[in-house]
């Protein structure tokens, strides 16, 4: 059997809408097969993986679960929105995990070095420092790409490992809480340095969730309604056309990396000042990499990314749920995430091509049309 692609005269609007949904459905089916192979009842396992965590929608006793979901989705949405701008402009930043860490470190400097500084300005300044830290770290691959023509995929990724080792050193070394019984991790942040929760009686979702959605809408407006957004798409789609239009290609590299770095840094400091409350040796469960999947699942559209962020958050939460109920390894979450990206990329082909299967003795009828 052979697969043949037939180019569509126009890209299919129908499949642009459907492809993420098909991909999701295929992932669920593949997940069921995986669970069955592991010796579990696939329907029950899928239920606890994908349905229980969102049961708060119809069961008010379970609303806290939706809060957990929102907390996981917030950093994914923030990072993926920035990555969408990068990928649309053809800049392959895959080092968001490192930018997240450096943002968390930069923002944490304020409560760690000046624990007495506690007022209404503390948190805003931390968020600002976090964004700046992430942007500065994102500027390194941008600078190397524009100045030395260095491949940004490899440099941004290498810097992730460096950032992970750096924060490990901080949390175990210079920033370690002297009263922390020798556990790695900084002093706990004061309430003024924490991201407040929206409605504590119901669950622990914090204002970072709202911020993530606001940022996604703003970037959506920028991409769809402003000249800058047009520039992103032209330079990404055809650098030559962009040059003729007088757009600055190097400027775009910096714009994309600084924006995505800043948003990843913001996600980092929100994570540290939100759920965690201190700088630890490990900051994120791979949000920077999962956000790559979010960006593609959301079809590089910030509004789609909000939905995609919730889906990926579900794979994290569902993984925990399935581990508790069935004893299924929580590693399954990462398998789900990887499969999801595969299916998304495969289904995206349907937007530009019709797929024809040839072989198995089928006559080549209709070949002439």
Partner 1 sequence: MEIAESILLTIATAATPLLIAAIGELVVERSGVLNLGVEGMMVMGAVCGFAAAILTGSPWVGMLAGILAGAVFSLLFGFLTLSIATNQVATGLSLTLLGLGLSGMIGESFVGMAGIKLPTLHIPGLSDLPLIGKLFFGQDPIFYISLALTAAVIWFLFRTRTGLTLRSIGDNHTSAHALGIPVIRYRYLAVIFGGACAGLAGAHLSLVYTPQWVENMTAGRGWIALALVVFASWRPLRVLAGAYLFGAVTIGQLHAQALGLGIPSQLLSSLPYLATVVVLVLISRNRRLTMINTPASLGHPFVPDR
Please select the residue that binds partner 1; options are 162, 192, 198, 351, rule is CB under 8 A: 162
Q: For residues 117 and 353, which CB has a smaller minimum distance to partner 1 in the complex?
A: 353
**Minimal distance, residue 365 CB to partner 1, in Å:** 16
Shortest CB 2 distance to partner 1, Å: 8
Q: Is 36 in the site for partner 1 (CB under 8 A)?
A: no
Pairing of strands 353-358, 2-7: antiparallel
- Contact with partner 1 (CB under 8 A) among 30, 125, 139, 144: 144
With CA atoms as reference, report the closest residue to 305 among 83, 6, 96, 22.
83
Q: Is 157 in the site for partner 1 (CB under 8 A)?
A: yes
- Of 41-49, 109-117, 157-165, 249-257, which part binds partner 1 (CB under 8 A)? 157-165
List the x/- string, 74-93, binding to partner 1 by CB under 8 A: ------------------x-
- The Cα-based distances of 83 to 86, 147, 211, 326, 345 in angstroms read 5, 22, 17, 35, 16
Q: Is 111 left (phi over 0), alpha (psi -120 to 50) or beta?
A: alpha
Residue 87's nearest CA partner among 252, 221, 279 is: 252
Asked if 155 is part of the footprint of partner 1 (rule: CB under 8 A), the reply reads yes
Residue 26 as a binder of partner 1 (CB under 8 A): the answer is: no
* 169 scored as a contact of partner 1 (CB under 8 A): yes
CA 250 and chain centroid, separation: 25
Residue placing its CB nearer to partner 1 in the complex, 151 or 362: 151
Considering only residues 285 through 344, tell me which ones interact with partner 1, judged by CB under 8 A.
Answer: 289, 292-293, 296, 329, 331-339, 341-342
Closest CA to 311 of 106, 147, 105, 72: 72
Contact 8, 355 (CB under 8 A): no
Q: Does 345 bind partner 1 (CB under 8 A)?
A: yes
Q: How many residues bind partner 1 (CB under 8 A)?
A: 47
Q: How far is the CB of 345 from partner 1 (least distance, A)?
A: 4
CB of 58 to partner 1, least distance (A): 31
CB closer to partner 1, 117 vs 166: 166
Number of Cβ within a 10 Å radius of residue 78: 34
Handedness of CA 191, 196, 201, 202 (dihedral sign): negative
How far is 156 from 288, CA to CA, in rounded Å?
12
Tell whether residue 96 is a contact of partner 1 (CB under 8 A).
Answer: no
Q: Inter-axis angle of helices 287-297 and 249-271, to 10 degrees?
A: 120
Residue 238, SS3 per DSSP: coil
CB-nearer residue toward partner 1: 189 or 287: 287
Single residue of 3, 57, 121, 221 touching partner 1 by CB under 8 A: 3
CA distance linking residue 300 with residue 223, whole number of Å: 10
Report if residue 29 touches partner 1, rule: CB under 8 A: no
User: Which parts of 298-331 fold into alpha helices (H)?
Assistant: 302-326
User: Which residue ranges make up the site for partner 1 (CB under 8 A)?
Assistant: 3-5, 7, 92, 94, 144, 147-151, 153-155, 157-159, 161-162, 165-166, 168-169, 173, 289, 292-293, 296, 329, 331-339, 341-342, 345-346, 348-349, 353, 355
């Amino acid at each position: 059997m052979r697969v043949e692609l037939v180019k569509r005269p126009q890209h299919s609007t129908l499949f642009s809408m459907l492809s993420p949904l098909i991909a999701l459905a295929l992932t669920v089916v593949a997940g069921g097969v995986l669970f069955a192979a592991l010796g579990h009842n696939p329907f029950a396992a899928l239920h606890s993986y994908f349905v229980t965590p969102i049961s708060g929608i119809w069961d008010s006793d379970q609303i806290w679960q939706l809060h957990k979901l929102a907390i996981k989705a917030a950093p994914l949405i923030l990072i993926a929105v920035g990555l969408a701008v990068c990928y649309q402009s053809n800049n392959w930043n895959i080092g968001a995990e490192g930018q997240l860490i450096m943002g968390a470190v930069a923002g944490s400097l304020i409560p760690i070095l000046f624990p007495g500084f506690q007022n209404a300005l503390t948190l805003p300044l931390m968020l600002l420092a976090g964004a700046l830290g992430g942007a500065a770290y994102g500027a390194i691959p941008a600078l190397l790409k524009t100045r030395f023509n260095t491949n940004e995929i490899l440099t941004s990724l290498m810097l992730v490992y460096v950032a992970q080792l750096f924060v490990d050193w901080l949390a175990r070394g210079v920033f370690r809480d002297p009263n922390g019984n020798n556990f790695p991790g900084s002093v706990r942040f004061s309430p003024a340095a924490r991201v407040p929760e929206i409605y504590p009686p119901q669950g622990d979702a914090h204002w970072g969730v709202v911020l993530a959605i606001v940022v996604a809408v703003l970037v959506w407006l920028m991409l769809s309604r402003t000249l800058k957004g047009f520039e992103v798409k032209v330079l990404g789609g055809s650098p030559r056309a962009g040059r003729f239009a007088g757009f600055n290609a190097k400027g775009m590299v910096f714009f994309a990396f600084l924006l995505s770095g800043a948003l990843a840094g913001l996600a980092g400091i929100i994570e540290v000042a939100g759920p965690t409350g201190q700088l630890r040796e490990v900051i994120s469960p791979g949000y920077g990499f999962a956000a790559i999947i979010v960006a593609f699942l959301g079809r590089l559209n910030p509004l789609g990314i909000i939905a995609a962020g919730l889906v990926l958050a579900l794979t994290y939460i569902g993984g925990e749920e399935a581990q508790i109920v069935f004893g299924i390894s929580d590693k399954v979450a990462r398998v789900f995430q990887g499969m999801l990206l595969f299916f998304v990329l495969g289904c995206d082909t349907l937007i530009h091509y019709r797929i024809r299967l040839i072989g198995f003795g089928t006559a080549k009828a209709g070949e002439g049309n």
